[in-house]
Amino acid sequence: MLTQTQKKTAESIINLFETDEVLGDYSKVTLIAGDTGHLTFGRSQTTLGSGNLYELVRRYCDNGGARFGARLAPWLPRLEASDRDLDDDLKLQNLLRASADDPVMRDSQDAFFDEFYWQPAAGAAEREGITSALGVAVVYDSHVQGSWLRMRTRTNAEVGKLTAAGEQQWLQAYVATRRAWLASNTNKALRPTVYRMDAFRRLMDQGYWDLELPLVVRDKEISQNSLSGLPPHCYAGPQPGTRPLALESPLPRGLDVRLVQLGLSDRGIDVKADGIFGRTTMSLIREYQAAQGLPVTDVADVNLIVQLTA
């Protein structure tokens, strides 16, 4: 049975594979050409095509404390239908990004990914006789990316079952088998993901079977320090209206910026709600001011911010 730290470390490895962040990027919205999952969102990149994006958003909306629940609820029928037009719907994507600032969404993602991916993976590892933390991480990765059973069967055919081959030898063979499958996959979008197996093989070669900290995966440090704190690209403040927003160095970032951008998006303006007040956002503010007959300035004052975030 893994310790809580080993579990978090295993999850962080897959977070790095999925979003390049140790804690995962709860706000990440991705669309990869040719990916059968279509629109993907969140810490472990749940997909529109699988129906899991609908399930995640539904659970979030069902929570009475969800800050963006009422705004996301109208999208549920199209999410349930796996409407491919949502791949290019910037308003929905901005809402999903903004929802990650809500601790309720982050908790919803954690609970969802634990139920749909971690628990089945941990159960599969236990049934197979895998006890090492690194081995469980390998099985978890295969549940997130898919085709665990197919690759397990193929590995058994090549080297025998784990009980005969030994855990470490079997897992090394499994990683090699899965790498070969990814490298030649008919889905071209999967081929570049061989880096996942390369990362596992390096950890095996270095003897990190227990995932003892600290360690480095894909040039990112996983340590007690990096496993704590607010996840990247999520904002707890400042609250809208507590400061004017203007282009300065460093660029203003935060919850108020994200909600201003979301307000522009709601009004049909093509903006990415990333929470960063850069030149593009400033230009769009100026265009909005002109369209509304307001004084055109380089500043979003408190009154304008309140109007956009109401």
* Segments making up each domain of the chain, as ranges: 4-222, 245-309
pLDDT of residue 278: 97
Whether 147 contacts 209, CB under 8 Å:
no
| Cα–Cα distance measured from residue 47 to residue 31, given in angstroms and rounded to the nearest whole number | 10
Q: Which fold has domain 245-309?
A: Muramoyl-pentapeptide Carboxypeptidase; domain 1 (1.10.101)
Q: b or e along 224-247 (b: 16 or more beta carbons within 10 Å of the residue's beta carbon)?
A: eeebeeebebbbeeeebbebebee
| Cα–Cα distance measured from residue 50 to residue 262, given in angstroms and rounded to the nearest whole number | 27
| Cα–Cα distance measured from residue 39 to residue 196, given in angstroms and rounded to the nearest whole number | 21
pTM exceeds 0.85 for this model: yes
Residues sharing a CB contact under 8 Å with residue 116, sequence separation 6 or more, in sequence order:
46, 52, 55
Per-residue pLDDT of the chain (310 residues; tens, 9 = 90+): 899 999 999 999 999 999 899 999 999 999 877 777 799 999 978 899 999 999 999 999 999 999 999 999 999 999 999 999 999 999 999 999 999 999 999 999 999 999 999 999 999 999 999 999 999 999 999 999 999 999 999 999 999 999 999 999 999 999 999 999 999 999 898 999 999 999 999 999 999 999 999 999 999 999 999 999 899 999 999 999 999 999 999 999 999 999 999 999 999 999 999 999 999 999 999 999 999 999 999 899 999 999 999 8
29-30 and 40-41 beta bridge pairing: antiparallel
By the 10 Å C-beta count (0-12 exposed, 13-18 middle, 19+ buried), 90 is classed as middle
Omega within 30 of 0 (cis) for the link into 77: no
pLDDT in tens, 39-92: 999 997 889 999 999 999 999 999 999 999 999 999 999 999 999 999 999 999
Q: Which residues pair with 276 in a beta bridge?
A: 253
* The domain defined by 4-222 carries CATH number 1.20.141.10: yes
Question: DSSP secondary-structure letter at 232?
Answer: T
| Cα–Cα distance measured from residue 275 to residue 94, given in angstroms and rounded to the nearest whole number | 10
Task: Find, among 55, 32, 57, 37, the residue nearest to 47 by Cα.
Answer: 37
Residues sharing a CB contact under 8 Å with residue 193, sequence separation 6 or more, in sequence order:
17, 145, 182
Task: Find, among 252, 255, 253, the residue nearest to 236 by Cα.
Answer: 255
Give me the helices (H) in the chain, please: 4-19, 52-62, 69-72, 76-80, 90-99, 103-113, 119-128, 133-145, 148-159, 162-165, 167-183, 195-205, 255-266, 279-291, 302-309
Task: Find, among 219, 169, 187, the residue nearest to 13 by Cα.
Answer: 219
pLDDT of residue 292: 95
Token pair of 43 as six digits:
């810490």
CA 187 and chain centroid, separation:
21
Whether 231 contacts 26, CB under 8 Å:
yes
* 15, 20, 24, 277, 284 from 230: Cα distances, Å: 15, 15, 10, 20, 29
Whether 179 contacts 194, CB under 8 Å:
yes
